[in-house]
Amino acid sequence: MPCLVALIVFGIMGIFSATQRALAKEAFGCVFRRITFRPCNTSFAEKVKGKLLAKVLKRSTFLAKVLNKYYEVFSWIFFILMVGSTIWVIRGGFNFYVYGSCNGLNQSGFCAFDPSGSNNKVTAVGDSTACGITPKTEATVTLKGVDLSGFPTENVTGKDKVVFIGCYACDYSRKAYPDILKLVKNKNATLTFAHYPAKGDTTFLGEAGYCVNKMYPDKYWDFNTYLFEADKNYILDKTNLDSILSSFNFDVKIVDECANSPETKNAFDNQVKELDKTGLYGTPTIFINGKAFVGPKPYRVYRSAINKYIFF
């Protein structure tokens, strides 16, 4: 077993050192002999053992004696730890590629590949000032029993169904939105958008969007994309709304009357209540064929959900 450990260690070190490459070659020969049920080359095994004992002996005679006596046992222990850690790293790397997190979909535990946790950050629902990682999972987030018929939807005949619940003032929603548009275009999927006022006063934008979709459905998606791409401070200033509407050649007076009507306010409130049924705990919350993705994942994660990669 020391030979196998040495092969891996010296193999890696050999990338940078000619001396270590020679040792890696000897280690390979040792491993080959062991797997063919022949004893390892004694000189190499003793060479590795001698190097280790020399290092330990400089620090403690007692530890050197223990290492010498239980050398094979320690070798097995380190081998098992090495194999376990290697499997863990590979699993974490795979999860990161597929889910955007080492720990699995929407899991916010520490991930060496994403130490800041940026792929799982959300604007928390219910607290307009809270932005960051939430410890919850997607287990209770679902579209079951949720009526989406009143929300803007394009390409209704698409085989794959994407539902984007986001907030115009949420930086994480703004980060995810372009990737969702790219996904929908590349996969010819159905897209349903729902604005959830998770941060700041964005209800007036949701109400305006409701009226634009009702009166100018052919221009709604351009309008919606603008709200996600334009300067956030500009669109959140209510005094700029008429200018925004005018830039799309909408009848500003009629849209304003619609947005401020009791019917629209009641309809928008009902939409928010409908979204609450999903159990969402932050924006963005994105459903791809019914599966929830919370936080702005890398594009490959959204793509894999449609391509149906095999997940751990």
Pick the CATH number of 121-307 from 3.40.50.1390, 3.40.30.10, 2.40.50.140, 3.30.365.10: 3.40.30.10
pLDDT at 53 over 80: no
**Binning pLDDT at 50, 70 and 90, where does residue 296 land?**
very high
All CATH 3.40.30.10 domain ranges in the chain, comma separated: 121-307
User: Which tens digits make up the pLDDT trace of 235-275?
Assistant: 999 999 999 999 999 999 999 999 999 999 999 999 999 99
- Give the lowest-confidence range in 105-114, 127-136, 177-186, 258-267: 127-136
pLDDT attached to residue 15: 40
pLDDT at 140 over 60: yes
pLDDT attached to residue 81: 65
Tokens in use for 109? 């535990």
**Binning pLDDT at 50, 70 and 90, where does residue 112 land?**
low
Q: How far apart are CA 251 and CA 66, in angstroms?
A: 86
pTM: 0.68
Tokens in use for 230? 């334009």
pLDDT attached to residue 124: 74
